[in-house]
């Protein structure tokens, strides 16, 4: 089997995240962090996080397929609980509170190293130091 490693960077977008995938020698977090500093998407946004993937194919395959995927790595960010969001009672966060309650999300991450990005936080997500 032939295989290659990739890192996919995610940046805030208008309706959905922008993404850029680049080949990388290995699943090296420090190398990916360095690479993230050079990523610029539309409207000047920069990555809030990344994942690693490994794609592979056999001689009989026409195209490669994903054979491994890492956890999601956030480039910094602040973790907030549902209770904190609820107690803050910010009128502009009504939809956020509703989505957290309806979907059972106990924690979110708020990343502001580019445009503000908010998402639910999975137990497997990793928040890296970023400055």
User: What does the DSSP assignment read for the chain?
Assistant: -EEEEEEEEEE--SSS-EEEEEEESS--HHHHHHHHTT---GGG---SEEEEEEEEE-TT-SS-EEEEE---EEES-EEEEHHHHHHH--GGGHHHHHHHHHHT--EEEEE-SSS-EEEE--TT-EEE---
**What torsion do the CA atoms of 34, 31, 36, 11 make, to the nearest 10 degrees?**
-150
Phi, psi (5° rounding) for residue 49? 180, 180
How do residues 79-113 score in pLDDT, each as one tens digit?
Answer: 999 999 999 999 999 999 999 999 999 999 999 98
Q: What is the pLDDT confidence band of residue 38, given thresholds at 50, 70 and 90?
A: very high
The pLDDT of residue 64: 87
Is it the case that residue 9 has pLDDT exceeding 90?
A: yes
Q: What is the pLDDT confidence band of residue 32, given thresholds at 50, 70 and 90?
A: very high
The pLDDT of residue 59: 84
């Amino acid at each position: 089997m032939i295989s290659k490693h990739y890192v996919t960077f995610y940046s805030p977008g208008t309706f959905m995240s922008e993404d850029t995938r680049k080949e990388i020698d290995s699943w090296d977090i420090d190398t990916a962090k360095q690479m993230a500093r050079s990523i610029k998407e539309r409207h000047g946004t920069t990555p809030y996080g990344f994942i690693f993937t490994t794609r592979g194919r056999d001689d009989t395959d026409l195209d490669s397929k994903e054979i491994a995927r890492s956890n999601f790595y956030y480039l910094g960010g602040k973790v907030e609980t549902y209770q904190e969001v609820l107690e803050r009672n910010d009128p502009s966060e009504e939809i956020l509170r509703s989505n957290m309650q309806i979907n059972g999300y106990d924690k979110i991450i708020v990343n502001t190293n580019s445009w503000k990005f908010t998402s639910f936080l999975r137990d497997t997500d990793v928040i890296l130091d970023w400055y």
